Chains A and B, each alone.
Chain A
Amino acid sequence: FTKEKFDAATLDELEDLLIQSDLGLAAAERVTAAVGRARHARQLDGESVRAIVAQEVSKTLAPVAIPLDPPESARPAVILVVGVNGSGKTTTIGKLAETYRTAGMKIVLAAGDTFRAAAVEQLGVWAERAGAIFISKETGADAAALAYEAYAKARAEDADLLIIDTAGRLQNKAGLMAELEKIVRVLKKFDAEAPHASLLVLDATTGQNALGQVEAFGKVAGVTGLVMTKLDGTARGGILVAVAEKYRLPVHFIGVGEGVDDLEPFDADDFARALVGLPRVEKDYSF
């Protein structure tokens, strides 16, 4: 935007910007309308306009920016990680393990993807990096059986946290989705509260399909929260705004790279600013 008045054309440009960030039409229109109502009489430059949009987006996201604190009372607390193929589940588990180990927890990782070639080996590498106990079976084994063994092992080891990887699956595949349900059933035999968290991993490059993912995985795996990966690329992950409006699920973390430390707590302001192409505001936490 140039220094033109904050007029209808500016609002159209705004809506375009939001559409291009994958908000989807409905959310883009809603945000644009809200910004339009708040229009100021004075002349605004492009950056100020963007800042107002960011504020509006942040309002939607702030209530869902919630950290993930596994319950201390559960031994082990269980985190189940689900999502479509290639979204970043296994990598996120590696990063989560590192995060919680650094917080002093004893962690078991379970290689519940017994389908994909070398999925077990991949998680094994992450377990080593993060200093976690690693439980696996051969490729082709029953994932629910693996979850059962992993829980027993985690309890025997008196671990704080058991994180279970699962094979990627598209939400329109009923058979594969039923398999997830079975894993959840098995865990509930040990602990009716398990899994204490069921994380859906969403890829930031995903478009409107993410809504369907949240819906379907929510039904079969009782999703309790979200992680959005690959925000270090060019995709801005605006679908999260539509998801937040519709499902109000907590967003716990974002993935910003392939390294073990490339996991950040979800921050509504930072996310909203990046969405409209504004730099982060450095926060000063010191007193």
Chain B
Amino acid sequence: MFDTLTHRLGGILDRLTRRGALTEADVSEAMREVRRALLEADVALEVVRSFVDRVKERAVGVEVVKSVTPGQMVVKIVHDELVAMLGADAQPISLAAAVPVPILMVGLQGSGKTTSTAKIARRLTTRDRRKVLMASLDTRRPAAMEQLATLGKQTEVATLPIVPGQTALQIARRAMEAGRLGGYDVVLLDTAGRTTLDEALMAEVVEVKKATNPHEVLLVADALTGQDAVTTARAFDQAVGVTGIVLTRVDGDGRGGAALSMRAVTGKPIKLVGVGERFDAVEDFDPARIANRILGM
């Protein structure tokens, strides 16, 4: 996902390390190139700006000036700031709450919520030995409920029976009730896709959140997203208090800027990445490893 960025940053920083002493102009020039590289990797402009500012501020400081290998110092600063931006440790989905633990999946249309719901359910079932129930609250998209039911059969995870005519809120309540009565450990609530400008739909998901008090609210987002990543992440976070991000389509050749942007503006960890369409195509997100990879370390 981050290959292009790795390549570009690697080149810029290599040139810097080959220099002996660094002037402020050298650093500025390198930072202009870093800015370009990040923007071309779809990192949101405001995130790029604050990143470059932070690096610059440190890079013209004493630690670099006094260093015998100033170029390497700058590389280290870029690396540190990248890690800080991505978050230091991998953060798995938390189940530390009273059973059944509700997990709410939210996001834009087509971002991969339903598929990710099935992936998570499957993982919690087989790897963590939890009894999981999935419910589709998507009353809008044609055959959305059938999609989740089919995925339930494929993954051998229970799905809440479909009752036509119910609202998302009614389904959410029924799911939690079924979760309690059925002795489930986790109830995964898949929701309809929504744009954050759709006030009625945003209000709906807020209601669902109030009624179910989810332990995790996972924002499912497409790794191919461009500059809109910040707007979307911020709006969902403000409305429903996102606890983590699931980044999908990381198997594509997108440049991964959305990951950096969303993490930066919400401060919420990327918990999982989707790496394919099948229900086993999901991986943990390890920020330190990713930062190292971006810088080719």
- A contacts, CB < 8 Å to B: 16, 19-22, 24-25, 84-88, 94, 115-119, 121-122, 124-126, 139, 170-173, 203-209, 212, 230, 232-236, 238-239, 258
Contacts and interface: CB of A to CB of B under 8 A. Distances in A.
Interface in B150-168: 150-151, 154
Interface string B217-236: 00000101111100110010
Given A88-B110, A235-B228, A258-B109, A170 B142 contact: no
At the interface, is chain B mostly helix, strand, loop or mixed?
loop
A209 B112 contact: no
B147 A233 contact: no
B252 A170 contact: yes
Contact of A25 (B40, B111, B232, B254): B40
B197 A207 contact: no
Nearest to A167: B277
B110 A121 contact: no
Given A121-B146, A206-B226, A84 B195 contact: no
B154 A207 contact: no
A234 B228 contact: yes
B110 A203 contact: yes
B143 A209 contact: no
A208 B110 contact: no
A22 B142 CA distance: 30
Interface residues of B, number: 46
Contacts of B146: 117-118, 121
Most buried by B among A20, A85, A212, A239: A85
B113 to A, nearest CB: 10
A115 B277 contact: yes
A172 B252 CA distance: 6
A234 B196 contact: yes
B278 to A, nearest CB: 10
Contact of A207 (B141, B142, B227): B227
Given A85-B249, A117-B147, A121-B143, A208 B226 contact: yes
Contacts of B197: 232-234
B251 A170 contact: yes
Nearest to B251: A170
At the interface, is chain A mostly helix, strand, loop or mixed?
loop
Given A19-B39, A172-B253, A207 B224 contact: yes
Given A16-B45, A209-B253, A86 B143 contact: no
B252 A84 contact: yes
Contacts of A19: 39, 45, 227
A234 B108 CA distance: 10
20 contacts: A16-B45, A20-B44, A22-B227, A25-B40, A117-B147, A121-B147, A170-B249, A170-B251, A170-B252, A205-B228, A207-B224, A207-B225, A207-B254, A208-B40, A230-B108, A232-B195, A233-B108, A234-B228, A258-B140, A258-B141
Contact of B249 (A22, A84, A212, A238): A84
**Lowest 4 CB-CB distances: which A-B pairs, in order?**
A207-B226, A86-B110, A233-B195, A125-B142
A86 B154 contact: no
Contacts of B195: 230, 232-234
Contacts of A122: 141-144, 147
Contacts of B224: 84, 203, 206-207, 209
Given A117-B147, A122-B141, A170-B253, A230 B109 contact: yes
B237 interface: no
B252 A209 contact: yes
B42 interface: yes
A85 B151 CA distance: 17
A86 B222 contact: yes
Contacts of B150: 117-118, 139
Contacts of A212: 253
Most buried by A among B150, B154, B224, B251: B224
Given A19-B39, A85-B249, 10 more contacts: A84-B224, A85-B277, A116-B277, A118-B150, A119-B143, A125-B142, A204-B228, A205-B225, A205-B226, A206-B226
Contacts of B253: 170-172, 209, 212
Nearest to A129: B142
A131 to B, nearest CB: 15
Interface in B81-111: 108-111
Contacts of B79: none
B215 interface: no
A144 B6 CA distance: 38
A71 B222 CA distance: 36
B174 interface: no
B42 A208 contact: yes
